[in-house]
Amino acid sequence: MQHVRRCRLTFLLILLASPFLAGCSGKGKPKIYPVAGRVMHGEQPVAGARVTFHSLPGHAAPNIDRYPTGRTDKDGYFRLTTNEEGDGAPAGNYKVLVVWPLVPGRSDGSGEGEEGDKLEGRYASPESSSIEAEVKPSANTLSPFVVQ
């Protein structure tokens, strides 16, 4: 009899806990798709720039911890990160922000210690940037963004 009671109690606890466990499973997080691109200044690659994707109004990606962001390498190429290094971004339409520091930050890519912007803020906010991009529900290799 005690064994039956213990089994019922265990079953009841599992039943009560299941909605909370389902909430921890990542359910409700948007699917992330790989996104790669390049930033150019005329014919020259932009090295060390921070590229950030902001959802356009009406296209907000729910339940993401931060904006999809990447850092350009010496040849101007970047890969976006939303949750894990290089994972990409949720599908949707975005305003693309680009900040090209006058003084590079730490070499770990955190951006700490960066100063200034060679682009004088023209692409630093959703209001000032004229660059838009669409992330499709597949792997994305974007056309180069040309900044002035």
pLDDT tens digits along 81-92: 999 999 999 999
Q: What CATH number was assigned to the domain covering residues 32-147?
A: 2.60.40.10
Do strands 35-41 and 145-147 pair parallel, antiparallel, or not at all (unpaired)? parallel
Has residue 26 got a pLDDT over 60? no
Residue 8: which residues within 8 A CB-CB, separation 6 or more?
none
pLDDT tens by residue, 105-133: 655 555 666 789 999 999 999 999 999 99
Instruction: Pull the structure tokens for residue 9.
Output: 């109690």
- In total, the chain counts a number of residues equal to 148
